């Protein structure tokens, strides 16, 4: 018997989870929430989805920590994914260097850890930077640098309009 790799198990489980979630939402659209059987087993269904989510998170954390592989979704087909790696297109001696470089970049852009649901303080004492950091941490994901710059630009334009308005009065 051949043992499957963690990456194969993650991709297979991720695809099955997508199909299962799609089926679940179709059944909800057909009125599954009114069924007596659903009412009885609703807690166990939610526990099953949470277990599936936790397993996928652990697979993803392990994959990201090693840094050799990353999964890309196909833009046209919903249930098709690609596994990409520097090992596929680089010589064997250069690929680990590239992986280390990618891991360093990922750590540089990773959001700081949150403890006790308190937003971390920024390195400079800007109130706007703390606000943007808290938005990124509680809004379901981190903000990209482009979004941060757009927020800064928006605030600067608003302040310039206020200054011009009061200068003309």
Q: What is the pLDDT of residues 134-156, one digit of tens each?
A: 555 544 445 566 677 778 888 88
pLDDT of residue 122: 41
Chain-centroid distance of CA 45 in Å reads 24
pLDDT of residue 59: 86
pLDDT of residue 121: 46
Q: Decide if 74 contacts 81 (C-beta within 8 A).
A: yes
User: Across-strand partners of 84?
Assistant: 70
- The whole-model pTM stands at 0.53
Residue in 53, 68, 62, 57 with CA at minimum distance from that of residue 17: 53
Check pLDDT > 60 for residue 102.
Answer: yes
Q: What is the pLDDT of residues 32-73, one digit of tens each?
A: 888 888 889 989 988 998 898 889 888 888 887 777 777 777
Greater pLDDT, 99 or 136: 99
Q: How many C-beta atoms lie closer than 10 Å to residue 78's C-beta?
A: 12
Distance in angstroms (rounded) separating the CA atoms of residues 48 and 39 = 15
Q: How many C-beta atoms lie closer than 10 Å to residue 166's C-beta?
A: 8
């Amino acid at each position: 018997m051949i043992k499957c790799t963690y990456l194969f198990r993650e991709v297979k489980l991720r695809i099955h989870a997508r199909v299962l979630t799609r089926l679940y939402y179709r059944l909800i659209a057909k009125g599954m929430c009114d069924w007596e059987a659903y009412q009885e087993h609703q807690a166990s269904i939610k526990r099953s989805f949470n277990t599936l989510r936790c397993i996928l998170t652990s697979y993803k954390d392990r994959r990201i920590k090693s840094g050799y592989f990353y999964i890309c979704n196909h833009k046209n087909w919903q249930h098709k994914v690609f596994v990409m790696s520097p090992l596929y297109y680089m010589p064997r001696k250069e690929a680990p260097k590239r992986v280390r470089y990618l891991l360093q970049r990922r750590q540089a852009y990773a959001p700081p850890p949150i403890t006790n649901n308190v937003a971390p303080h920024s390195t400079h004492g800007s109130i706007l930077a703390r606000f943007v950091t808290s938005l990124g941490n509680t809004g379901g994901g981190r903000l990209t640098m482009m979004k941060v710059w757009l927020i800064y630009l928006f605030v600067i334009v608003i302040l310039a309009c206020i200054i011009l308005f009061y200068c003309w009065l």
